[in-house]
Amino acid sequence: MTQGAKFIEFKGQQIYYVDYSNIKTSEEFLAVIKSTNAFREKLKHDGVKDLLMLVNISGSFVYGDVLSEIKKAALLTKELIAKEAIVGITGSKKILLKVLQSFAKMDFKIFDTEEEALEWLVS
């Protein structure tokens, strides 16, 4: 799967899927965030709300500038989503995610697998 944002279907429901997996450089991460932010801006402009969102950050590394851009993306996303699940959180990423969660005042759940996350989203 190519990194970025798109809609997928799971059990008859649309899931807003954001793929930040296996990104190794801050330049690549920033480019993908820019792309996903543009997608979110379009959704916001179209009046979309109550999205079910799955974010995959498996195998990726977050660098300085990337964290601040993720915070901005989180604030934009907050207005659009009903439920959010995140997969790929291990070790020190959990600490970074807690900082992001606190900053953006977001409510999300962390899962070990996409399947678990998808099941929760549609429940």
In this predicted model, what pLDDT tens digit does every residue of 98-108 receive, in sequence order? 776 776 666 78
pLDDT for position 49: 86
Buried b (16+ CB within 10 A) or exposed e, 32-63: bbeebbebbeebeeeeeeebbbbbbbbebebe
Using the predicted structure, report yes or no on whether residue 97 has a pLDDT greater than 90. no
Helices (H), 7-113: 26-45, 64-78, 92-104
Using the predicted structure, report yes or no on whether residue 23 has a pLDDT greater than 70. yes
Asked if residues 44 and 74 have their Cβ atoms less than 8 Å apart, the reply is no
Class of domain 4-118: alpha beta
Task: Please state the pTM of the whole predicted model.
Answer: 0.85
pLDDT for position 116: 97
Higher pLDDT, residue 97 or 24: 24
The mean pLDDT of the chain is 86
